[in-house]
Amino acid sequence: MGGIVAALGAVVGPWLKRVTPRAGMLGTLCGIALVFIGTVPLATVFEHPFIGFASMIIILWGLVGRFRLPFNIPAGLLALIVGTVVALAMGEAKISAEGVGFYPPLPYVGDLIAGIQHLFANPELFLVLVPVQIYNFIETMNNVESAEAAGDHYPVATCQITDGLGTMVGAVFGSPFPTTAYIGHPAYKRMGAHAGYIIGVGVVIPVAAFFGLLAFLNNLIPVAAAAPVLVFVALSLITNTAHSIKTEHVAAVTIAMMPHVSAFLMTKWGSLMGALGATGVEGLPQMGDPALTAALLQQGAHFEGHLALSQGAILTGLIWGAIVAYVIDGKFRAAGGFALAATGMSMVGIIHGASLHWPDLNAVSMGYLISAAFLFIYPAFHKEDELVNEYAVVDEPTANPAE
């Protein structure tokens, strides 16, 4: 069912990509890259510095600095080899054939039918499923824009339909995970990857899964050895964004990143509470408990604000990036349109809500509505020349496909 919702994104995807400033689409991706793809792996590097630093310096030399390595060895491959050798020498990795075998993909049609029946018997589950899949097809649209900023053009509707089909096929074989266009296109293009790389991934990963080799590789290659590659992906996406937008729109990219910091904090606060419970601490309040929320606020931790920002962070970042970009360009009605859309989405829980619900004109929705009214009405009381940003640049920079 989630795949169907994701595929239906193709109906609005091309239009939404056309009306959304690049800074909004790429800014929200930069937020994901910064906190989840970059910061978490970097922390892993510092948890295992001997392994992580050995791999990290090779990534910085060969991929970030783009200096040639001996015999033209790919930096990513060499980083994995060196990190693994260090881990083996330290006893933090092992060569084990445990789990190796043959595991052919099997359809779980019965379970799938039972799951769909359960879904329709409990329609309130759609209130969670639909927003998640909306975020998914928005993510695909943003990743297509990221590839375009790197000089490669793909039809967004085709990508969204493919994602939906991939999700549905995966569900037949028991996968609970949706598919989406990968966020790392600029990074892998910079590494010299072409269509053959994608074909290779499409062959190697299934073969490794079918024969249990993923467990073998998990034992052999420590996370700290592979983590620097993800750090590079984050660095590449953010720097590519900086080169593909107008300088004035850096502010829009920055604000689009911020909701993902809130999402990261909420995830880690939840992990902290779970860890305290796992260590035997009794009487822990639930996250959101009024007394705990008040205590956190006294310590400078704004739980309610971060919770609101984290709910639908992908869309929230895109919306605020678009509003700021359009305000900078003096396109106030376009900015007002995004604020008005945010009003509707926040009223029904697509953003700033745990799930879909009946329309509710809450404080956040009112804030968006007031902002929209200002952006639509205020410019009418000023002369046209007073609303022109003399520092704005009209066109987006064009990426050089050769870069």
Q: Domain residue spans in the chain?
A: 2-244, 248-387
Q: How far apart are CA 40 and CA 33, in angstroms?
A: 10
Answer whether residue 119 shows pLDDT above 70.
Answer: yes
Q: What's the pTM?
A: 0.82
Closest CA to 326 of 341, 313, 311: 341
Mean per-residue pLDDT, 249-275: 94
Answer whether residue 386 shows pLDDT above 90.
Answer: no
* 50 compared with 119, residue with greater pLDDT: 50
Indicate the pLDDT class of residue 189, thresholds 50, 70 and 90: confident
> Residue 173, SS3?
coil
Residue 273 neighbours by CB distance under 10 Å:
16
Q: Which of 96-100, 338-342, 377-381, 383-387 has the highest mean pLDDT?
A: 338-342
Per mean pLDDT, which range of 157-166, 261-270, 315-324, 331-340 is the poorest? 157-166
Mean per-residue pLDDT, 170-189: 83
Please classify residue 73 by burial: count the beta carbons closer than 10 Å to its beta carbon, then call 0-12 exposed, 13-18 middle and 19+ buried.
Answer: middle
pLDDT of residue 163: 87
Answer whether residue 161 shows pLDDT above 60.
Answer: yes
Indicate the pLDDT class of residue 383, thresholds 50, 70 and 90: low
**Where are the alpha helices (H) located in 150-249, listed in sequence order?**
156-172, 185-190, 195-210, 213-220, 223-244
Q: Is the dihedral of CA 162, 168, 173, 174 positive or negative?
A: positive
* 334 compared with 96, residue with greater pLDDT: 334
The string of pLDDT tens digits covering residues 276-302 is: 999 988 888 988 899 999 999 999 999
Per the CB < 8 A criterion, the answer to whether 229 and 59 are in contact is yes
Closest CA to 79 of 60, 59, 64: 59
pLDDT of residue 402: 39
